């Protein structure tokens, strides 16, 4: 079997979900003048192993992985430290004949904050809301950047405690109803819960209690400006939105597959924003 002439990556999921990834990667392929492709592949769980192990035979240079396969691909590839710590991989690529995996949500989160709020990682404490998969990527990124204290609150405290046990003493849990007490000490507030998303409940955080130099990040991107970000903006705080993280997490996969590091431009953002508001 011979590989096709143009390199292509795919998004592996089940069922085939609507995704903005093709829009993002096609934009970069077009603007960088690279001949390549990015397609969505619907792969049921029983076919995942075969699909992933034959990725290159199928003509792919790599893949994104989404629900429900993000955990399962760890055992089918060689995960890096990020994928191992997060317990899930969203990007696969071939290097020296080996299938490797990583979790680019970590750099999506960090890259977006670097671009939106330079200096955000200067000394201070962070407060993270939520203890699901996205929270693990965020906490890993904060510890990697040297945060000495990450406060972690979750509706289900046991889930936060499990995460804190995994990540060590710099992560301290607090009950969900104690969030407002920690706000005056938080240099960075991150929402990783689904609260604030269209159709979900409201996030009850007293933004006025944050210090004036605080930065607020929300992983929710529908709506683009969540009530949390709107309140932070009204107070004059720096913010980083969920769409930025979505765009920045795509950078590394593209670079690994197609050999050039792409830029997150205002034009790309506008393109994806238009697509988000269409649905
Ligand atoms: P993800 O991979 O996006 O992090 P997840 O693993 O399902 O998704 O996690 C969702 C997060 O949103 C969890 O922290 C969840 O809290 P629980 O662990 O208590 O379920 C949080 N969340 C969802 N709905 C919530 C609500 N109504 N109030 C508070 N937290 C909520």
pLDDT digits (tens, 9 = 90+) for 36-88: 999 999 999 999 999 999 999 999 999 999 999 999 999 999 999 999 999 99
Do both 226 and 253 map to the same domain? Answer: no
Cα–ligand 1 centroid distance for 162 (angstroms): 14
Do both 155 and 261 map to the same domain? Answer: no
Q: Which domain holds residue 94?
A: 8-103+244-276
Dihedral of CA atoms 204, 208, 213, 214 in degrees, nearest 10, equals: -10
Q: How far apart are CA 233 and CA 216, in angstroms?
A: 9
- Does residue 59 contact residue 85 with C-beta atoms inside 8 Å? no
Dihedral of CA atoms 244, 123, 166, 253 in degrees, nearest 10, equals: 30
**φ/ψ of residue 189, rounded to 5:** -120, 130
CA of 131, closest atom in ligand 1 = 14
Q: How far apart are CA 61 and CA 81, in angstroms?
A: 21
Do both 231 and 271 map to the same domain? Answer: no
**Model confidence, pTM:** 0.94
Based on the residue annotation, tell me whether 278 is a catalytic residue of this protein. no
- β-bridge pairing 8-13 and 186-191: unpaired
Q: How far apart are CA 217 and CA 198, in angstroms?
A: 17
Q: How far apart are CA 260 and CA 84, in angstroms?
A: 25
Q: How confident is the model at residue 33 (pLDDT cuts 50, 70, 90)?
A: very high
Q: Whose C-alpha lies nearest to ligand 1, atom 5? A: 132
Q: How far apart are CA 202 and CA 223, in angstroms?
A: 12
Do both 269 and 231 map to the same domain? Answer: no
Q: In this structure, what token pair is assigned to residue 71? A: 């955990």
Cα–ligand 1 centroid distance for 44 (angstroms): 25
In a domain, 36, yes or no: yes
Does pLDDT of 164 surpass 80?
A: yes
Closest CA to 191 of 109, 99, 125, 257: 109
Question: How many structural domains comprise the chain?
Answer: 2
Cis previous bond, 223, omega within 30: yes
In a domain, 141, yes or no: yes
Catalytic residue selected from 70, 84, 238, 278: 70
Cα–ligand 1 centroid distance for 156 (angstroms): 8
Do both 111 and 233 map to the same domain? Answer: yes
Ligand 1 is surrounded, with C-beta below 6 A, by 130-135, 154-156, 159, 192-195, 201
- Does residue 65 contact residue 90 with C-beta atoms inside 8 Å? yes
Q: Residue 50: its pLDDT value, please? A: 98
pLDDT digits (tens, 9 = 90+) for 189-212: 999 999 999 999 999 999 999 999
């Amino acid at each position: 079997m011979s590989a096709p002439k143009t390199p292509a990556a795919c998004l592996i999921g089940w069922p085939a979900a609507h995704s903005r990834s093709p829009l993002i990667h096609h934009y970069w392929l077009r603007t960088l003048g690279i001949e390549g492709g990015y397609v969505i592949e619907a792969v049921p769980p029983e076919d995942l192993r075969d699909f992933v192990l034959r990725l290159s035979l199928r003509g792919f240079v790599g893949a994104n992985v989404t629900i429900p396969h993000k955990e399962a691909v760890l055992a089918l590839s060689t995960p890096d430290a990020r994928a191992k710590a997060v317990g899930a991989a969203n990007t696969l690529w071939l290097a020296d004949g080996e299938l490797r995996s990583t979790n680019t949500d970590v750099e999506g989160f960090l890259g977006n904050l670097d671009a939106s709020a330079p200096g955000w990682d200067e000394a201070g404490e962070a407060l993270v809301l939520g203890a699901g998969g996205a929270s693990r990527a965020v906490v890993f990124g904060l510890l990697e950047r040297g945060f000495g204290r990450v406060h972690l609150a979750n509706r289900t405290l046991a889930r936060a405690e499990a995460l804190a046990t995994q990540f060590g003493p710099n992560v301290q849990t607090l009950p969900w109803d104690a969030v407002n007490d920690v706000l005056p000490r938080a240099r960075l507030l991150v929402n990783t819960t689904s609260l604030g998303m269209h159709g979900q409940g409201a996030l009850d955080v007293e933004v006025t209690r944050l210090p004036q130099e605080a930065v607020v990040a929300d992983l929710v991107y529908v709506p683009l400006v969540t009530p949390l970000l709107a309140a932070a903006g009204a107070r004059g705080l720096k913010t980083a939105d969920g769409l930025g993280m979505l765009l920045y997490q795509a950078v590394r996969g593209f670079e690994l597959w197609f050999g050039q590091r792409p830029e997150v431009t205002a034009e790309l953002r506008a393109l994806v924003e238009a697509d988000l508001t269409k649905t």
